[in-house]
A and B are shown apart, each in its own frame.
Chain A
Amino acid sequence: DGGITQSPKYLFRKEGQNVTLSCEQNLNHDAMYWYRQDPGQGLRLIYYSQIVNDFQKGDIAEGYSVSREKKESFPLTVTSAQKNPTAFYLCASSIFPGLAGQSSYNEQFFGPGTRLTVL
Chain B
Amino acid sequence: AQTVTQSQPEMSVQEAETVTLSCTYDTSESDYYLFWYKQPPSRQMILVIRQEAYKQQNATENRFSVNFQKAAKSFSLKISDSQLGDAAMYFCAYRSAYGGSQGNLIFGKGTKLSVKP
Contacts and interface: CB of A to CB of B under 8 A. Distances in A.
Contact of B109 (A40, A102, A113): A40
Contacts of A106: 33, 95, 103
B104 A48 contact: yes
A76 B108 CA distance: 23
Interface string A55-71: 01010000000000000
Interface string A75-107: 000000000000010101000011111110111
B86 interface: no
B50 A105 contact: yes
Interface in B66-90: none
Given A97-B103, A110-B44, 9 more contacts: A33-B104, A33-B105, A56-B101, A92-B45, A100-B99, A100-B102, A105-B50, A107-B47, A110-B37
A26 interface: no
B52 A105 contact: yes
B43 A88 contact: yes
B35 A100 contact: no
Interface in B1-41: 9, 33, 35, 37
Contacts of B46: 110
A97 B37 CA distance: 19
Interface of A: 33, 40-45, 48, 50, 56, 58, 88, 90, 92, 97-103, 105-110, 112-113
B82 to A, nearest CB: 23
Contacts of A43: 91, 105, 107
A100 B52 contact: no
B117 interface: no
The listed residue with most B CB atoms (<10 A of its CB), out of A40, A58, A108, is A108
A113 B43 CA distance: 7
A58 B63 CA distance: 35
A110 B47 CA distance: 9
29 contacts: A33-B104, A33-B105, A40-B9, A40-B109, A42-B107, A45-B104, A45-B105, A48-B104, A50-B100, A58-B104, A88-B43, A92-B45, A97-B100, A97-B103, A97-B104, A98-B103, A100-B98, A105-B52, A105-B95, A107-B33, A108-B105, A109-B47, A110-B37, A110-B45, A110-B46, A112-B42, A112-B43, A112-B44, A113-B43
